Structure 1
């Protein structure tokens, strides 16, 4: 669509932001997940879908790896 290869886009993104595109996407997903975790009645499966994961296990694993926390110890 923008006539730039995926590898070139990743390189340009890193040069402009100092952050990899993968890390940026993970950061946005985790920030959104943290916000959604503040809603007591929302299910992890719904959070997973909203932040782009296929399952609640996938989002829980990514969240735990990114933050070292689980929903039970977020203080939320």
Structure 2
């Protein structure tokens, strides 16, 4: 075999062996980093259970304590897992709760806002419109219309 670089076959084999070892190490670290950047299932379950427990809504520090990690670490891991910040996740949960309340019964808007975890009706209406494109009243009316159409069939 002709060696155009003038290197010994042993030196070339040692170089290739080093490259293989380094590539394995890099790929192993990358695989470990991908799984380490997510919350463990038990941590995410604790966060969800605490959010679902209701008002007052928890802060990041309380949720981090539940998970046994720092608030900053929780924030990073939560985004890596869900693609949302904790506050955006909580707001989405609260809006979904409000949708259920609005569709289910003639609960006054103020009570819907309180049960969904909003302290003021105006902040509830703004958040609801931002999330759904409809005011809570419009959503309730559309839900009632859909329910009436379904029961008429």
Answer whether TM exceeds 0.5 for this pair: yes
> What's the TM-score, normalizing by structure 2?
0.45
**Partners in 2 of 1:56 and 1:18 — Cα distance?**
28
**Partners in 1 of 2:134 and 2:120 — Cα distance?**
18
Moved over 3 A (4+): none
* Bigger radius of gyration among the two: 2
Structure-2 residue corresponding to 1:28? 93
**Partners in 2 of 1:72 and 1:51 — Cα distance?**
15
Which is helix-richer, 1 or 2?
A: 2
**Partners in 1 of 2:136 and 2:118 — Cα distance?**
16
Structure-2 residue corresponding to 1:8? 73
Q: Which has the higher contact order (CA 8 A, sep 6+)?
A: 1
Gaps of 5+ in 1: none
Structure-1 residue corresponding to 2:108? 43
**Partners in 2 of 1:73 and 1:41 — Cα distance?**
13
1:19 aligns with 2:88: no
Gaps of 5+ in 2: 1-64, 144-153
Offset at 1:5? 2.4
Q: CA RMSD in A?
A: 1.6
